[in-house]
Homo-oligomer: A and B are copies of this chain.
């Protein structure tokens, strides 16, 4: 059902990163649900997390551990979010880290825990404990595809990408994974994403690079406006590409690595939308000439969240009046006589109403496509924003009304 999303056949290993994935029995469907990622010594790690106040226990603990140590292991389970689990949830997350630390002789603070799945059920730590020795034994550099499958929940397709660039004559590799299909919204979502590079870059720049890339990618997508309790995006660098360490924010090398990380994040974020629950359309909302970036994002998200716009997209119905109504209620200042709304290249709204040259046939032609761009020119300034979303289909309702049964 995913919209123009092809699974990668293979992903490039990143020197200094080993991964493993096993079936621990946390998910009901007996597929892989426990993933371990090992980082070589001297690696760096940057991360961004959900802004939901009810963030899950592993999120709280991962943030804490990141502040004290550079991680050696990331432990990820799917099938259970360990969220809304109160004090027991914190104990369970900590115990999972302790199990990894005991097995690998590292410090408990050097383990970051991540969980994704159903909210409000206690984490089955016994199943994790039983699966860990086998998981540890299977760590391999060339295991990204298997790890990508291990973090999936309602995803229908593996989401992963690799890129290589040259830095100072050295080949640098970036490989990333993401998961997520529902509860996806601005400020991180039910999504997890792990991106690694062997480029050498200092810790502050690594975090800055991640923040910048996330803003234009994972923080610019929405399926259903629901921010999850567990979202996390981690960027790791092992420094084993032998490039001279990047420490200067204004250097060409930083710009190159920023560009490739942004490209990888954008691919992974858009892959989540392409595989959104019940999605039949991949929709780009481009808002231009706004008074501010905030205004542009407000208009884009108001249209993207409108159930009426989303059902019209599902129906391939050029019901542009619903787009106009959503723009009009976004709470943003503009002159309705000056704005234009485009469906693809077709101008649908100008001079306060339907564009004089618009015909239903033109609109229908765009709406029949699987990938649709809605462009809104506010003519109120020079700011822009671009976000991506999906439609609202029967299958969205089906998936989300049957998820727990």
Interface of A toward B, CB cutoff 8 Å: 51-55, 81, 83-89, 118-120, 182-183, 185, 187, 224-229, 305-308, 311-312, 314-315, 317, 319-322, 324-329, 334, 336, 349, 351-354, 392-394, 396-398, 400-405
In the complex, the 3 A-B pairs of residues with the closest C-beta atoms, listed nearest first: A119-B321, A86-B353, A54-B328
Known contacts A227-B325, A320-B120, A325-B227; decide if A336 and B396 are in contact (CB<8 Å).
Answer: no
Tell me the bound Cα distance from A52 to B388 in angstroms: 24
Tell me the bound Cα distance from A353 to B55 in angstroms: 11
Nearest CB to that of A185 among chain B residues? B329
| A–B Cβ pairs within 8 angstroms, 17 of them | A53-B328, A54-B352, A83-B321, A84-B354, A119-B324, A120-B321, A120-B354, A183-B325, A225-B307, A226-B307, A226-B322, A229-B324, A229-B328, A307-B392, A314-B401, A392-B397, A394-B398
User: What distance in Å separates the Cβ of A379 from its nearest Cβ neighbour in chain B?
Assistant: 14
Chain copies in the assembled complex = 2
Chain B residue contacts of A403, Cβ below 8 A: 317, 319
Instruction: Report which of B51, B183, B307, B325 forms a contact with A119, defined as CB distance below 8 A.
Output: B325
Nearest CB to that of A395 among chain B residues? B397
Quick check: B226 and A308 within 8 Å, CB to CB? yes
Quick check: B224 and A329 within 8 Å, CB to CB? no
Instruction: Report which of B229, B314, B392 forms a contact with A325, defined as CB distance below 8 A.
Output: B229
Nearest CB to that of A334 among chain B residues? B53
User: What distance in Å separates the Cβ of A270 from its nearest Cβ neighbour in chain B?
Assistant: 20
Chain B residue contacts of A325, Cβ below 8 A: 52, 54, 83-84, 119, 183, 226-229
User: What distance in Å separates the Cβ of A374 from its nearest Cβ neighbour in chain B?
Assistant: 15
Quick check: A84 and B324 within 8 Å, CB to CB? yes
Quick check: A306 and B119 within 8 Å, CB to CB? no
Tell me the bound Cα distance from A308 to B319 in angstroms: 25
Known contacts A86-B353, A120-B321; decide if A400 and B311 are in contact (CB<8 Å).
Answer: yes
Quick check: B308 and A54 within 8 Å, CB to CB? no
Instruction: Report which of B85, B317, B329, B400 forms a contact with A401, defined as CB distance below 8 A.
Output: B317
Tell me the bound Cα distance from A86 to B340 in angstroms: 13
For the A-B complex with A84-B321, A120-B321, A224-B307 known, give 18 more contacts whose Cβ atoms are closer than 8 Å: A52-B325, A55-B328, A84-B349, A86-B353, A87-B351, A87-B353, A119-B319, A119-B325, A120-B319, A182-B308, A226-B307, A305-B305, A307-B307, A311-B401, A314-B397, A314-B401, A315-B400, A393-B397
Quick check: A400 and B225 within 8 Å, CB to CB? no
Nearest CB to that of A228 among chain B residues? B325
- Which of the listed residues A84, A182, A312, A405 has the most CB atoms from chain B within 10 Å of its own CB? A84
Quick check: A307 and B400 within 8 Å, CB to CB? yes
Chain B residue contacts of A229, Cβ below 8 A: 321, 324-325, 328
Tell me the bound Cα distance from A327 to B118 in angstroms: 17
Quick check: B349 and A404 within 8 Å, CB to CB? no
